[in-house]
Structure 1
Amino acid sequence: MLIVGLTGNIGSGKSSVARLLKEMGARVIDTDQVAREVVAPGTPGLQQIIDHFGTGVLNADGALDRPKMAQIVFNDTNALKRLNSIVHPAIRAQLLKAIADYRDNPDAPLMVIEAPLLIETQLFKLVDQVWMVTVDAKTQIQRVIKRDAVTAEQVSSRLAAQMPQEDKLPYAQRVIDNSGTPEATLQQVRQIWSDAIDRSQAQAE
């Protein structure tokens, strides 16, 4: 039984690695999905957002208009801080519940929490190990341009807003270099999976 925080910057391919781990039998939680759930219609999170930002941030069906919300906070540091102060504690609470559930009912050899902001939001303190997916700068930019149909300049501006990859590396117990072929990445993931399972079983004995 091992709880892993999986992280990596934009274009690193952490979602692909999370998918591989799920196929291998891990219980995977995607914090992006949790972030959507904690501001779904009827949640205290969405009500707090409405109280602060007004009903103008809602779609016609009463759900949060995420692109509009993103526009509001993109150039306003205070608005972003306010939004984060609502969303991040709610995400953390959901993750703590999921971790407690996993410890009570370990139905998979690993629980993987996929979180782009694992380090920045201190979520790494909730996990047993941090696994980081890395990528070289050139490959990273090419991938994001292709995936999101954006310019190199737009990618650079997104990267500038993130904690640099090299600053996150000291937090990681395992590093998966996803700069090469999918086969090379799969090989690394299999090896790390095997090591983690062996160590986890040894500790349980």
Structure 2
Amino acid sequence: MVTGTFTALNESIQPPRAYFAGGWWKVDGIRELAALPDTNDDERALRPEPGSIEHMARLDDDWDARLALPAADLAIVGTATWLKEEFEATLSRENDGFPPSMLRSLLMPKGPGVATWFTRVYSSSKLSDSLPIPQQINAVILDGNGAVAYLNEIESPVVICVLDRSVANETAAEAVVQLRNTRGEPVSLTGDLRWQPPSGVEAFGFTVAL
């Protein structure tokens, strides 16, 4: 994957070559090309191959197009050091014949030296400095009680709260339940979202008018 400013096209040789990111590239070797809305520094990175979860979600159907022009509409808020470790975890469906998906390749977090990215990552301890969340963000994951504390300050079509019920402090869980009871309209996970929480996971959904 290559990100850079296009500066020249040489059609006097075959196949033609385009110059960007500090080098000449064969035009017929480019799998996907997109104009980015803002300029980035020249970056290069290995192209990740779609794995088990990408195939399950049918992301592999237009994988190169996603890499070239990502929607970049997801944000994750949590403890930065923990998130960094969790991005190295892998996921897979049993016996589907595809290699496991690495969370880092699936989510493509934004950071220094990346050629393309899907997800903005915010530290919950510093989130107040980054509010409001950009309008192009369509989903926000609040991972942990410290992140969930900002629930009422997040304006996004979808907000997912991940609560740790093993800790003694129930303040974050109580805030979510209060929001559901006072302003929420229930959503059926199995009927509306067609999702069944796995064993050991407690989950509920509701809508709130923005």
After TM superposition, the score normalised by the length of structure 2 is 0.26
Which structure would you say has the larger Rg?
Answer: 2
User: Relative to total residues, which structure has the larger strand share, 1 or 2?
Assistant: 2
Relative contact order higher in (CA < 8 Å, ≥ 6 apart) = 1
Which has the larger share of helix?
1
